[in-house]
Structures are given as C-alpha cells and as structure tokens.
Amino acid sequence: MNETTVKLIALGLYLVLGPVLGCLLGGIDRKISARMQSRIGPPILQPWYDFRKLLLKENLVVRRSQNFYVFFYLLFMVFTGGLFFMGGDLLLVVFSLTLASIFMVLGAYKASSPYSFLGAERELLQIMAYEPMLLLVIVGLYMITGSFSVTDILAFDCTADTAKIHAPVILQGAGLFLGLIYILTIKLRKSPFDLSSSHHAHQELVRGLTTEFSGRAMAAIELAHWYETVLVLGLVYLFLGSCWWLAVPVVLLVFFLELVADNTCSRVKWQMAVKSSWIMAVIFGVGNVLVLQYWKPILQMFGK
C-alpha cells in the first residue's frame, strides 16, 4: 500500500474507533473511580447509555448560536485527531486543538449563564496553563527527531546513523514526558485541575463550562471529549512509538495514574493551577530543551 492509502486507513480507523475507545476509557474511568471509593460503580458501557439518552432528549438552549459553537468544537476536535493519526504536522495539531477549545469557550460565553460564564473564564485559564508545556513538548520532539511530522517521529530509529543522539526519544525527552503527563490532568479534566468542568459529581459550579447545554448538543460535547481523550493519549504514545509493545502499557499506566490523581487530590485554585503548570514548563520543559541544545555531546557519549 502507498502512503496515501495508509493515511486514509488511519483516518478511517480514528473516525470509527476513536469514540469507541474514548467511550470505553470513560467507562473504565468510572469503574476504577468507584472501586477506589469502595463502590461497585456503573457498567463499563454507562457512557454509551448516557450518550444514547442524550440523543433522545429535547435540545433546550438559551440561544441557538450555542449549537453553532458546539458543532465547530466537535468538528475541529475530529479534524485535529484525524490530522494527528494521519501523521500530520504537530504544530498544526496543537493550533487546531486550541482552536477547538476556544469554540467551546465561546459556546459557554454565549449562554449568558453565570455558571457557564465562570466555567468559560476558568477554561481560558486552563488553556493558558497547559499551552506553554504543550508547545515545549512539540519543540523538544523536533529537536530530538528533526521533524514536526508525526510519521517521522514514530519512525525515528534511535540506532539509525542519522540520529543525532543514540538514545530513545523518551530518554532524551524525559523532562518533556513528565511535563506532558502533568498537563494531561488538565486536558482530561481531572482533579486537582478540573476547574472549568468535571465528569464527576463534585463541582460547585454545577457543570461549569457545560451547564447550559443539553440533549444533542451535550451528546456532541461528550463525543468530542472521547475523540480528545484518544488524541492526548496519542501524544504520550509518541515518546515510545518505535516500540509499540512498550508504548501501549505505558499509555495505559499514564491513564491509570491520572485516575489515581483524580481520586486522591482535592481541587486547587486557578492561581495554583497556572503557577504550577508554568513551573513544570520551566523546570522540565525548558530544562529538557536546554539539555538537548547544549549537552548533546554528553548525551551522545552516554547513548553510544
């Protein structure tokens, strides 16, 4: 098969299997969280049952333009994931992912509800918190592999003659990897950083960002979240892409650690969320980039 055919197959698999995997991960999330709280918990397919019920409910909105923003939120989330799994440019992936989040914020603002308005404000703060670390991850991956392309990063061979440093991506980008795990807590809306909205019943803002959405609009938001979950876990996979048999267990372990954090940490104030994320970006992100830039001879010596 030629490269175009492979990319189209990858896109098709993401469009079909993305929400399936996202739904199953959501069900596993609820089940594990319930066990951690000494409860039995709902069935694994409970997110699907909820999604199907939302599709059948009446779509009540404060303003019709809300649905316009939700549609583009879902559209850009699907586009972002499709671009990523087709092996596209990571910079464009990050730009599209941020644009999708902005559409969700605009939809919350449009509802003119004090709860959704405050949720939108907090969502903007969360974007401001995780964006620097996310960009540093992209820059670091480029410095390691010499490319912004997802295909090239996954195909990076740490033993190839063209490799500038003979060490696996995850070893060269250990700080970036730790920083990425930290901000994933924000992207997955887990405690202690579930400031704008939460998937569990411990929000004093009702549902924050999604308070004024219901019916099919809420179903579209849940569908977009399933796509987003698979996408952000795909970023973790990039660090071990050349060893898929190791990458899959690591991705599942990272997801489990996010659940542990969600069930053991109390939510912090927005000031702490922004400050801690930027500190992680400076220490682990900038620090790792400086190591790649100035200590290559030392890394190469240890890698050989």
Model pLDDT, residue 226:
96
The strand pairing partners of 89, in sequence order, are 149
Q: What is the DSSP string of the chain?
A: --HHHHHHHHHHHHHHHHHHHHHHHHHHHHHHHHHHTT-----TTHHHHHHHHHHHS----SSTHHHHHHHHHHHHHHHHHHHHHTT-BHHHHHHHHHHHHHHHHHHHHHTT-HHHHHHHHHHHHHHHHHHHHHHHHHHHHHHHHS--BHHHHHT--TTSTT-SS-S-HHHHTHHHHHHHHHHHHHHTT-TTS--S--SSS--TTTTGGGTT--HHHHHHHHHHHHHHHHHHHHHHHHTTTT-HHHHHHHHHHHHHHHHHHHHH-PPPPHHHHHHHHHHHIIIIIIHHHHHHHH-HHHHHHHH-
Contacts of 61 (CB under 8 A, 6+ apart): 67, 111, 212, 213, 214, 217
Q: Domain spans of the chain? A: 3-149+160-297
Distance of alpha carbon 155 from alpha carbon 147, whole angstroms = 11
Contacts of 16 (CB under 8 A, 6+ apart): none
Model pLDDT, residue 65:
81
Distance of alpha carbon 186 from alpha carbon 123, whole angstroms = 10
Comparing C-alpha atoms, which of 170, 179, 192, 207 is closest to residue 260?
A: 192
Per-residue pLDDT of the chain (304 residues; tens, 9 = 90+): 778 888 899 999 999 999 999 999 999 999 999 999 889 989 999 999 999 999 998 877 777 788 899 999 999 999 999 999 999 999 999 999 999 999 999 998 988 788 888 889 999 999 999 999 999 999 999 999 989 999 999 888 654 444 444 567 898 899 999 999 999 999 998 988 888 876 665 555 566 788 888 889 999 999 999 999 999 999 999 998 778 888 999 999 999 999 999 988 888 888 999 999 999 999 999 999 998 888 766 655 655 4
Model pLDDT, residue 206:
61
30 and 43 Cβ atoms separated by less than 8 Å: no
Model pLDDT, residue 303:
52
| End-to-end CA gap in the chain | 35
33 and 184 Cβ atoms separated by less than 8 Å: no
93 and 162 Cβ atoms separated by less than 8 Å: no
Q: Record the pTM.
A: 0.91
Comparing C-alpha atoms, which of 257, 118, 121 is closest to residue 184?
A: 257
Model confidence pLDDT, tens digit, residues 209-227: 888 888 899 999 999 999 9
Model pLDDT, residue 24:
96
Distance of alpha carbon 145 from alpha carbon 37, whole angstroms = 43
Distance of alpha carbon 189 from alpha carbon 258, whole angstroms = 10
